[in-house]
Amino acid sequence: MRMSELSRRSGVSVTTIKYYLREGLLPAGRQLSATQAEYDENHLRRLRLIRVLIGVRGLSVSTTREVLGALAGHTADTHRLLGLTLGAIRLADEAETDSPEPAEVDALIEELGWDVHKSAPARVTLADTLASLRTLGSPLDRRALLSYARLAEETAVLDLDQLDGIEAPLEVAERALLITVLLEPALMALRRMAQQNESARRYADGADRAAD
């Protein structure tokens, strides 16, 4: 396909495509003449992934280039490809955070029997959140934490079920990013509505229900 068709099918402007070509994010097409090049489905998949990495995950152009470079060596390893795409695994040259070692999180992961990469940023995020709850005088009961973890486990199964039947590695990466990043606000909205429903079931009398 020519660049105009690549633009139409990807939803990315010709100007932006040319910019991605100059920045090395998108490989050059097959040269037809001094001013014309031809692109294929691999260019389309990569362009869609670039759009999602920058527009949805919010990465800079330079970080997107690093992620794409890392992905290039792991297209046959879906597990690592997903980790790199979603940020569950740090890039090799990313600096470690200064947060304390999340020992409590390590113990939780071991109890759950989960296989989580040691460099996963989510480990530190969870540890910091639990520490903040304790500081505010509202520590999370361990049984409640385990229950939340099991709900997250079920959500992860639903997430990865959405990838079944997709064979192209770049398409897998794009789909995983979309259902993870874009679906998170929807999941939060469902949680809020479920809380309201449960509050009504537990605490609202007939008059309150009618007013709602």
pLDDT in tens, 141-178: 889 999 999 999 999 999 999 999 998 888 898 899 88
Q: How many residues does the chain have?
A: 212
- What does the pLDDT read at residue 92? 58
**What SS3 state is found at 180?**
helix
Rounded Cα distance between 92 and 66, Å, is 10
Q: What is the mean pLDDT of the chain?
A: 87
Give the pLDDT score at 99. 52
Please name the amino acid found at residue 56: V
Q: At 106, phi and psi to the nearest 5?
A: -60, -45
**1-5, 96-100, 105-109: least confident range:** 96-100
- The whole-angstrom separation of Cα 134 and Cα 17 is 49
What pLDDT score does 37 carry?
92
Least confident of 3-12, 112-121, 200-209: 200-209
For residue 203, the Cα-to-chain-centroid distance in whole angstroms is 37
Which distant-in-sequence residues (6+ apart) come within 8 Å of 91 by Cβ? 63, 66, 67, 70, 84
pLDDT for 100 equals: 54
